Structure 1
Amino acid sequence: MNDNSQFDASPAVSGPSTDPATVFAALADIVYRGSSAEQVYTAICNAAPLLIPHCDHASLMLMQHGKAVTVAASDDIARVVDDIERATGEGPCLDAITSEAAQLETDFQTPTQWPAMARGVLNRTPVRGAMGFRLKVNEHKVGALNLFTDTPGVFDSDTAGEAIILTAFTAVTVAAMMNGQEASTLRGGLESNREIGKAVGLIMALHDVSDDEAFALLRKSSQDLNVKIADLASSVVERHSKASKN
């Protein structure tokens, strides 16, 4: 069972509802209600299991002084997996930071491109699959959103496609934190559809499709989750604008 106790950084997030639109709206509220970066990042990690099918744990890595640091996690299991990646120097989350494509491991029990990490994960955690998604801010690779499952074989390209929406939101959020929550800076990036463009780029790399096909897939995932990524981004900026005036 997922430990989402830290997800109550905002009262709007806590409770039994897992409606995606409600969860995303609550996350946007957390970003701009004056919460600390740690609270914001933890809320995103705790939201991941509510939004992404089969996701049991999540973490957020950001680059600090040339090293990938876990700045938040849904639980200790996610932190242990991150520790194993750093100790072995390999894994989907570390590779995601440098790669345009989402990094996917469906089953650590089968032959993997990250054998040292797989051994550590199998020995120390219940995790059996993982996905990593690169985060970029102002064209700089700043980190990765990492998702983990305890069930082998359930993470696939369709699951990754749904996770890209949360990745785009996370990129918006990290940009806000790094820019001191300056609405004008964030608004400029969103008006140019930069985050939507990044999401489309991730889908293109994930599915090996054209930009038109990628946008169609993003739109379908948004509809499946009852969330429009452009509306979500706009709501984030609007909430911050109102918070700045208070």
Structure 2
Amino acid sequence: MSALTLQTRALFDQAPYQHCFTARVVAVSEQGVALDQTLFYPTGGGQPGDQGHLLLPDGSAVTVLDTQRDPLLRAIIWHRLEDGGAGVQVGMEVQGCLDWERRHRHMRMHTCLHLLCAIIDAPVTGCSIAADKGRLDFDLPESTLDKERITHQLNELIAAGLDVRAHELPAGEYGSLLEMTRTRVPPPTTQGMVRVIDIPGVDMQPCGGTHVRNTAEVGAVVCDKIEKKSRHNRRVTLRFA
């Protein structure tokens, strides 16, 4: 299979709650191992790449240290393996399993950051997600943000048990996408489509990340810090309670 036709089917979009999958190795390089399909989410949108392991035909397991999209051919997802993936060969059938606890915490925090967007009416200039915390940077020259108020508003939305839905829009509808986008980074497109996360009545944003099905799954959170990073930048950091 040539590099021009090589691509990885993104199972994490259709099955974000699935833990394991079977796939075939389609490429091995210094960047890692590419599979014909994967549940491993690649680093993007502030969300870290998934970790876990690949189970090889001989029964041995190889640790997946990180997952990244190819910088040029975005349809290819590389799995960086421990020891360079020695023994993994093209054509080999493997079983992949996520570090599910870590992934699920990313899903919970990513969804919570969408709720934060709904509370703070300002453009987002940066995002970072970890297993225990997350933060957004807002373009706010003057800040009246209050940690206790943000904590209270977030936990109200979480406790409301709001559905979190995902659907796709044609990238050609870029005008309408710009209207809903709070970030200053163009929304990611895959095969001419843009994935949209919709919390009806609360927030709707183009987003390629993984999310929980309902806000109640996020659990209690705390607004941990509000920092002035520059004249026009306020950083809001959240953590799980």
Larger helix share, 1 or 2: 1
| Larger-gyration structure (1/2) | 2
Larger strand share, 1 or 2: 2
